[in-house]
């Protein structure tokens, strides 16, 4: 993994390798600032005396996982310095729904005779659903921290799935569009969005996952290559249809659907736009890419479909070759800082068990990264991981695969890093 390096006053310098970090620490030229992700501070260096190279943060926002990549432009070429996945929370909507149901039930029982009050809230302009707003916040939080740890001077993000202007008027675009390859990717993304990512003929019932761009009136019968004559079909249906038009094949409605332009709402993604506007707060230039371009560039680099590789291939600034790609991926999982709920409820909404206990016990908090040296018993040995505190002073230590050590006394533990609402892990690249 890349090691983040800060100067004497805690400002970001160029990152270094683990080996170099070890040497710096051995020679007492550096101190450890964070354990995960590993960050050191040089005690004898100032930002003013250091040379920086251009680093770019690249983002591919997704609904469950957002891909993150950081690249460095050096003399020899462009290198990928960091690959990361932000694993978002997925339970927000279901939790809010559960709370709403409990409160409804309670109102029914307790205040049946009170006049209903409803529609008495006004949403602010540009309101996003809590689950979406949360996702934007998580990406912004990561952006700010990356900028704190690395001297980032440019940002790229995937804003839209495809470029609508390029579809209307390919001639006015750049050289890449004239060559046609990028346009092909944009057209494919457009069609996939428009026809819902399934075969228009069998609706996926034939189980053929290999989707192809298909001519409604075949080329051999004088059909054009325009998007209004194109649709998405699976390989099986495409072969069977052969030289027939969609109407002859038994689908007269497809032609009209292909001619109708795609409604704005279908491809303007509110979350991505919100993120784009929030990224302006960083005061760094923000480059926008399309999903079609990302896919083309990832295919050209022969990289598998992973969120972090998508992020690496976002935008026109992506080079034709990388001189290095990391072997490990950082996973940033959102854990939160505990629950606001004061007491657990049973399924009727009645309090169950005791009221919430203290959040901190003997200076430990759930989510802290700890090291425990257990002298005796079933869990004798050394353990490092996330701690879950208990009111009885005996805590659990969790690793990436669940509980590692159970019921360990707090007296054997010390904190390596305070909880900050995130879990930091690593995994090898695909």
Q: How far apart are CA 146 and CA 295, in angstroms?
A: 25
Beta carbons of 380 and 420 less than 8 angstroms apart: no
Choose among 234, 238, 261, 263: nearest CA to 249: 238
The residue range among 45-53, 136-144, 230-238, 349-357 that interacts with Zn ion, by the rule CB under 5 A, is: 230-238
Contacts of 362 (CB under 8 A, 6+ apart): 393, 410
DSSP assignment of 229-278, as one string?
GEEEEEHHHHHHHTT--TTTTT-THHHHHHHSPPPHHHH--HHHHHHHHH
Question: Whose Cβ is closer to Zn ion: residue 203's or residue 259's?
Answer: 203
Choose among 7, 10, 9, 31: nearest CA to 21: 31
| Binding of residue 59 to Zn ion (CB under 5 A) | no
Nearest distance from C-beta of residue 211 to Zn ion, angstroms: 9
Count of residues touching Zn ion (by CB under 5 A): 6
Question: Whose Cβ is closer to Zn ion: residue 206's or residue 371's?
Answer: 206
At what angle are helices 130-149 and 92-110 packed, to 10 degrees? Answer: 140
Question: Whose Cβ is closer to Zn ion: residue 141's or residue 236's?
Answer: 236
Contact pick of 237, 312, 314, 372 for Zn ion (by CB under 5 A): 237
Nearest distance from C-beta of residue 246 to Zn ion, angstroms: 12
Contact pick of 25, 32, 147, 202 for Zn ion (by CB under 5 A): 202
| Binding of residue 254 to Zn ion (CB under 5 A) | no
Question: Whose Cβ is closer to Zn ion: residue 199's or residue 389's?
Answer: 199
Site string for Zn ion, 129-168 (x = CB under 5 A): ----------------------------------------
| Binding of residue 364 to Zn ion (CB under 5 A) | no
| Binding of residue 16 to Zn ion (CB under 5 A) | no
For residue 155, give Cα distances in angstroms to 161, 182, 191, 287, 339: 18, 22, 28, 6, 33
Beta carbons of 160 and 267 less than 8 angstroms apart: yes
Nearest distance from C-beta of residue 254 to Zn ion, angstroms: 12
The residue range among 78-86, 202-210, 325-333, 385-393 that interacts with Zn ion, by the rule CB under 5 A, is: 202-210
Q: How far apart are CA 121 and CA 70, in angstroms?
A: 42
Question: Whose Cβ is closer to Zn ion: residue 166's or residue 234's?
Answer: 234
With H, G, I as helix, E, B as strand and everything else as coil, classify residue 408.
strand
Query: Which value, to the nearest 10 degrees, does the dihedral of the CA atoms of residues 263, 264, 267, 268 take?
Result: -160
Contact pick of 182, 187, 199, 211 for Zn ion (by CB under 5 A): 199
Angle ∠(302,306,309) on CA atoms, nearest 5? 60
| Binding of residue 313 to Zn ion (CB under 5 A) | no
The residue range among 99-107, 120-128, 232-240, 321-329 that interacts with Zn ion, by the rule CB under 5 A, is: 232-240
Q: How far apart are CA 198 and CA 196, in angstroms?
A: 6
| Binding of residue 234 to Zn ion (CB under 5 A) | yes
Question: Whose Cβ is closer to Zn ion: residue 1's or residue 202's?
Answer: 202
Question: Whose Cβ is closer to Zn ion: residue 212's or residue 420's?
Answer: 212
Choose among 2, 4, 36: nearest CA to 422: 36
Instruction: Catalog residues that contact Zn ion under the rule CB under 5 A.
Output: 199, 201-202, 206, 234, 237
């Amino acid at each position: 993994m890349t090691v983040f390096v800060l100067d004497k006053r805690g400002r970001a310098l160029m990152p270094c390798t683990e080996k170099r970090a070890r040497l710096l620490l051995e020679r007492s030229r550096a101190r450890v600032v964070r354990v995960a992700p590993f960050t050191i501070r040089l005690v004898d260096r100032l930002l003013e005396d250091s040379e920086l190279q251009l680093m770019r943060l690249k983002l591919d926002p997704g609904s469950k996982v957002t891909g993150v990549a950081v690249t460095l432009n050096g003399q020899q070429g462009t290198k990928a310095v960091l690959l990361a996945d932000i694993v978002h929370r997925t339970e927000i909507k279901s939790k809010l729904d559960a709370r709403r149901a409990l409160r409804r039930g309670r109102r029914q029982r307790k205040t049946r005779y009170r006049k209903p009050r409803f529609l008495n809230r006004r949403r602010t302009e540009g309101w996003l659903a809590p689950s979406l707003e949360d996702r934007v916040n998580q990406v912004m939080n990561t952006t700010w921290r990356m900028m704190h740890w690395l001297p980032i001077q440019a940002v790229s993000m995937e804003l839209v799935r495809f470029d609508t202007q390029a579809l209307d008027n390919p001639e006015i675009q750049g050289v890449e569009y004239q060559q046609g390859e990028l346009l092909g990717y944009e057209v494919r993304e457009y069609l996939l969005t428009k026809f819902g990512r399934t075969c228009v003929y069998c609706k996926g019932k034939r189980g053929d996952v290999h989707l192809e761009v298909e001519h409604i009136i075949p080329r051999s019968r004088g059909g054009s290559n325009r998007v209004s004559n194109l649709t998405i079909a699976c390989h099986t249906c495409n072969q069977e249809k052969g030289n027939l038009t969609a109407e002859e094949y038994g689908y007269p409605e497809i032609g009209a659907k292909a001619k109708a332009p795609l409604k704005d709402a279908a491809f303007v993604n509110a979350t991505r736009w919100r993120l784009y506007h929030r990224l302006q707060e960083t005061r760094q230039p923000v480059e926008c890419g399309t999903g079609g371009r990302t896919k083309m560039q990832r295919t050209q680099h022969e990289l598998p479909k992973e969120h972090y590789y998508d992020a690496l291939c976002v935008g026109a600034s992506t080079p034709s070759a990388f001189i290095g790609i990391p072997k490990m991926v950082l996973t940033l999982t959102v854990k939160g800082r505990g629950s606001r709920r004061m007491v657990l409820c049973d399924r009727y909404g009645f309090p169950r068990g005791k009221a919430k206990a203290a959040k901190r016990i003997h200076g430990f908090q759930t989510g802290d990264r700890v090291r425990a040296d257990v002298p005796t018993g079933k869990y004798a040995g050394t353990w490092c991981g996330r701690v879950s505190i208990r009111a009885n002073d005996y805590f659990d230590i969790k690793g990436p695969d669940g509980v590692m050590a159970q019921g360990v006394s707090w007296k054997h533990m010390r904190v390596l890093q305070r909880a900050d609402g995130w879990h930091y892990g690593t995994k090898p690249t695909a």
